[in-house]
């Protein structure tokens, strides 16, 4: 059997195994193997050149993978409590069993006020400065 076909078949088997086994480990080896096989179709170099080509392609694939991994994708802010709450205004309501509450829009939230204004009465207009879990950090206007 032609060595180029062996390299390509081994690469395709590794790429197929990549779809079954989670992770991206076999992807780069499979792509380097297919690339080496395609190079062997074009030219017939000595064995050491074939191995060197495989190693270079594998190193290039790993370098690409590491570069892609380093790219920080912004975390989606969809459906997170702070997505649209910071900067909005609300009104303090009657405190609940766990402490102060604030109404922002049509929702009631647990609230935390700064110590210097912790005794603000119900009905006080507040601005949301932050979110700590499901508790809004608010300050009177």
CATH no. for residue 119?
Answer: 2.40.50.140
Residues 97 and 66 in one domain: no
Ranges of the chain with pLDDT below 50: none
Residues 110 and 53 in one domain: no
Distances (CA, A) of 98 to 2, 92, 110, 111, 112: 75, 14, 8, 9, 11
Residues 11 and 64 in one domain: yes
Helical H segments across 1-141, by residue range: 3-20, 25-42, 47-70
Task: Please give the Cα distance from 97 to 30 (Å, whole number).
Answer: 61
Domain membership of residue 112 as a residue range: 89-140
When divided into structural domains, the chain yields a total of 2
Query: Has residue 77 been placed in a domain?
Result: no
pLDDT of residue 80: 65
pLDDT of residue 98: 81
């Amino acid at each position: 059997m032609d060595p180029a076909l062996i390299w390509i078949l081994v690469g395709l088997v590794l790429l197929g195994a990549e779809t079954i086994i989670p992770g991206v480990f076999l992807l780069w080896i499979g792509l380097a193997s297919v690339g080496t096989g395609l190079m062997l179709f074009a030219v017939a170099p000595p064995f050491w050149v074939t191995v060197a080509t495989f190693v270079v392609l594998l190193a290039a694939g790993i370098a690409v993978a590491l570069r892609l991994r380093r790219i920080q994708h912004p975390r989606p802010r969809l459906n997170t409590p702070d997505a649209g709450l910071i900067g909005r205004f609300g009104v303090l309501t009657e405190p609940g069993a766990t402490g102060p509450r604030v109404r922002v829009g049509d929702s009631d939230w647990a609230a935390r006020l700064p110590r210097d204004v912790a005794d603000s009465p119900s009905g006080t207009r507040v601005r949301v400065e932050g979110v700590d879990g499901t508790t809004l950090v608010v300050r009177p206007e």
